[in-house]
Amino acid sequence: MRYFVLALLGFLSLILESTIFNELIIAGVKPDLVLVIVILFALFNGPRQGALVGLGLGLLEDIYLAKYIGLNAISKFTIGLIVGFMEKRMYKDNFLVPVLGLFFGSLIYCAIYFIYSGMVGYPLSFGRLLKIALPMAIYNTCFAPFIYGRFYKASTKGILKA
């Protein structure tokens, strides 16, 4: 059930990204909502689940975008794995956890995406990476106050509980 909900959330995120958030572009970027879901989910569920959800939602995103299928999947798989490894070391009641997790998770994700994109032959310049990484990390972090509480509830007692 929770995978179905996550898939639905991912689907909804993709639609929101390509519609509403096109009107809410700040500093030339829009948020990566799928990445936000993957990071938060990995923070609560560890590397295995994080990587799996990252892979699934990333693949959904790739199919949706219909180009370089696997690039988002492998990037989000990797970030899910990395953030998931932090799961045991973090005290999830602390509000700083999602804030720092989303901020640094997004920055690392951009670096990973940059590396993988080079490997699959997608011409992404380093300048473009620098232009996107920090604003996107900040934009993604801004979602922490709005969704972390619900995510926490859903992951500990609600629909996203393992």
Interacting residue ranges for other proteins, rule: CB under 8 A: 11, 14-16, 18-20, 23, 51, 55, 60, 62-64, 66-71, 73-74, 77-78, 81, 116, 119-122
What CA–CA distance (Å, rounded) separates 76 from 64? 15
Q: How far is the CB of 78 from other proteins (least distance, A)?
A: 8
Q: How far is the CB of 35 from other proteins (least distance, A)?
A: 16
Which residue's CB is nearer to other proteins, number 15 or number 26? Answer: 15
Residue 119 burial (C-beta neighbours within 10 Å; 0-12, 13-18, 19+): exposed
φ, ψ at 29 (rounded to 5°):
-130, 160
Residue 128 C-beta: closest distance to other proteins, Å: 16
Residue 76 CA: distances (Å) to CA of 12, 20, 23, 93: 17, 23, 25, 24
Closest to other proteins by CB, 69 or 138: 69
